[in-house]
Amino acid sequence: KNILKKLPNLRLIQKVGAGVENMLSNSNMPKHIKICRMSSEMQAKEMAEYCLAEVLAYQRNIREYFNNQSLKMWKQRQPLIVKDKSVSILGLGLIGMEIAQILQNFGFTVFGWSRTVKPQLNFKNYSGINGLIAVVSKADYVISVLPETNETKNLLSLSILRKFKPGSVLINVGRGSVINEEGLIKVLSEGILGGATLDVFQQEPLPRKHPYWILPNVTVTPHIAADTPVESSSKVLASNIKDLIEGKLPNGVVDLNKGY
């Protein structure tokens, strides 16, 4: 936090990723410095691939078969039908829209939720707390791509988690702070949720004694839903430096009031 005092000519901070909550919490941050989130199509595609892979793993019972192999158990199950399943996406920025597109193209019914309604989209989307309840209560899969802001912290509280469709699956690739962890563990143990895939957590690395590690209906991945390839990130950085020099607004500038 004190490094800013040594950089009096600093004009741009480029995050090589999407989350900027740690920077925004720095009270010493001068208002004239532009903070930019990494916003690349390649990163969005990687996260969409991760989400599609996880949804299909549930659709085709992949993890059950993996566990059955260790037991030498031959047990066949009927796969779930894509056209009968729906996905709600929380957060409709570049990444959320890419996830929506790939799942919609695959044949899933897609719903969306964001800070404000986006009337131009080709799927139904909602906003506000009532809209949130609507999208989580009707979806077989809920995918959160939400950033950490004052509005999103603990957004998926125990009371909201209890509104999820029975047997549904939560996938979180946004920020761990969006989910009330104790509430999620409770609804998973009660069978309200059928499962959860978590790539982000309130504390990273995830502590070894955390219940997530041993819950049978939780899949943990170590914040790897998307990498930030040098090829794409360097192009974004170069373009933003050029824009700054030319007096233009760089790509991915954070709105300090919104937090993203």
Structure confidence at residue 1 (pLDDT) = 67
Structure confidence at residue 38 (pLDDT) = 81
Task: Kindly state the tokens that stand for 137.
Answer: 């209560």
Give the closest residue to 51 by CA, choosing from 105, 131, 117, 129.
105
Residue 187 has pLDDT above 90, yes or no: yes
Model confidence pLDDT, tens digit, residues 85-103:
999 999 999 999 999 999 9
Task: Kindly state the tokens that stand for 254.
Answer: 């954070």
User: How large is the angle between the packed helices 41-59 and 94-106, nearest 10 degrees?
Assistant: 40
Q: Of the ranges 82-96, 225-239, 244-258, which is most confident?
A: 82-96
Confidence of residue 212 (pLDDT cuts 50, 70, 90): very high
Model confidence pLDDT, tens digit, residues 101-154:
999 999 999 999 999 999 899 999 999 999 999 999 999 999 999 999 999 999
Among 63, 115, 210, 223, which one carries the catalytic annotation? 223
Spatial contact of 144 and 178, defined as CB atoms under 8 Å apart: yes
Backbone angles phi, psi at 116, to 5 degrees: -135, 150
Structure confidence at residue 18 (pLDDT) = 64
Spatial contact of 177 and 260, defined as CB atoms under 8 Å apart: no
Q: Is residue 223 annotated as part of the catalytic site, yes or no? A: yes
Find the range with the poorest average confidence among 35-39, 137-141, 147-151, 220-224. 35-39
Structure confidence at residue 159 (pLDDT) = 98
Which contacts of 214-222 are long-range, i.e. CB under 8 A and separated by 24 or more positions? 215/185, 215/188, 215/189, 217/188, 217/193, 218/188, 219/54, 219/63, 219/195, 221/197
Residue 28 has pLDDT above 80, yes or no: no
Structure confidence at residue 228 (pLDDT) = 73
Q: Is residue 175 annotated as part of the catalytic site, yes or no? A: yes
Among 32, 162, 175, 208, which one carries the catalytic annotation? 175
What distance lies between CA 143 and its chain's CA centroid? Answer: 6
Q: Of the ranges 118-127, 159-168, 235-244, which is most confident?
A: 159-168
Structure confidence at residue 30 (pLDDT) = 84
